[in-house]
């Protein structure tokens, strides 16, 4: 029987995607410790041995899931990204995309938030994750150099730009916030006012 590589690859990607979704779901519901390899495999509908085809161990699965989320966020934020637009317009577009992504993928943000406060974060290659957001970092640096944005620590800029969006887009944290166009524009204006010179 001849099996095409394309067919095998599709099945492999489906299993990996199922493992990713199962990991996110279980960690969000029962935490990192209780999310055992066997539970994740059962939730994904695969055998526990399948996990070891894609990942070295549970830690590798958890870290890789976080990295996959960051890649997905980066891809969404950088869709049609144009660093030649005025700084404010570029950041506005990024923020609007983040609002949209966060509101549709709140489970991913919940996982990322838990991960960033866990001991697993020490196993993360921070430089690998940061490279996915390099185009945005370069725009921020350009804004600082052109004296459009405050020249402060990068972590402060990131906190004032992205954390408000992640909080507002999370219905568990901001139950009264209606993510309509007007409120999102108001939120961006407040973000911009916080970082501009």
129 — pLDDT class (breaks 50, 70, 90)? very high
Q: Which two tokens stand for residue 94?
A: 């990024």
Q: Reply yes or no on whether the pLDDT at 2 is more than 60.
A: no
Distance CA 156, CA 194 (A): 10
Q: Reply yes or no on whether the pLDDT at 138 is more than 70.
A: yes
Averaged pLDDT, 5-22 = 75
What pLDDT digit, counting tens, does each position of 74-113 carry? Answer: 999 999 999 999 999 999 999 999 999 998 999 999 999 9
What pLDDT digit, counting tens, does each position of 30-78 carry? Answer: 999 999 999 999 999 999 999 999 999 999 999 999 999 999 999 999 9
Smallest CA-to-CA distance from 98 within 81, 115, 83, 118 is with: 81
Percent of the chain at pLDDT exceeding 70: 94
- Phi and psi (nearest 5°) for 169? -80, -10
Distance CA 159, CA 152 (A): 11
Question: What integer best gives the mean pLDDT of the chain?
Answer: 91
pLDDT of res. 175: 85
Total-model pTM: 0.87
Which tops the pLDDT comparison, 10 or 19? 19
160 — pLDDT class (breaks 50, 70, 90)? very high
- Residue ranges and CATH numbers for the domains of the chain are 1-54 (1.10.10.60), 69-195 (1.10.357.10)
Q: Which two tokens stand for residue 49?
A: 């041995």
pLDDT of res. 11: 56
The dihedral sign for the CA sequence 23, 28, 29, 30: positive
Smallest CA-to-CA distance from 111 within 28, 5, 26, 15 is with: 28
Averaged pLDDT, 132-148 = 96
């Amino acid at each position: 029987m001849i099996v095409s590589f394309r067919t095998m690859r599709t099945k492999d990607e489906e299993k990996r995607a199922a493992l990713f979704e199962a990991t996110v779901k279980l960690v969000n519901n029962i935490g990192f410790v209780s999310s055992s390899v066997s539970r994740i495999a059962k939730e994904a509908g695969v055998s526990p041995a399948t996990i070891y085809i894609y990942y070295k161990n549970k830690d590798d699965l958890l870290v890789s899931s976080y990295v996959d989320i960051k890649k997905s966020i980066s891809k969404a934020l950088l869709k049609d990204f144009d660093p030649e637009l005025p700084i404010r317009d570029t950041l506005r577009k990024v923020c609007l995309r983040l609002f949209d992504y966060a509101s549709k993928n709140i489970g991913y943000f919940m996982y990322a938030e838990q991960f960033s406060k866990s001991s697993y974060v020490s196993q993360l290659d921070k430089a690998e994750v940061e490279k996915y957001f390099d185009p945005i970092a370069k725009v921020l640096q350009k804004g600082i150099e052109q004296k459009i944005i405050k020249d402060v620590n990068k972590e402060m800029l990131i906190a004032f730009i992205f954390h408000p969006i992640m909080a507002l887009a999370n219905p568990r944290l901001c139950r009264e916030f209606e993510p309509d166009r007007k409120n999102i524009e108001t939120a961006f204006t407040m973000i911009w006012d916080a970082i501009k010179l």
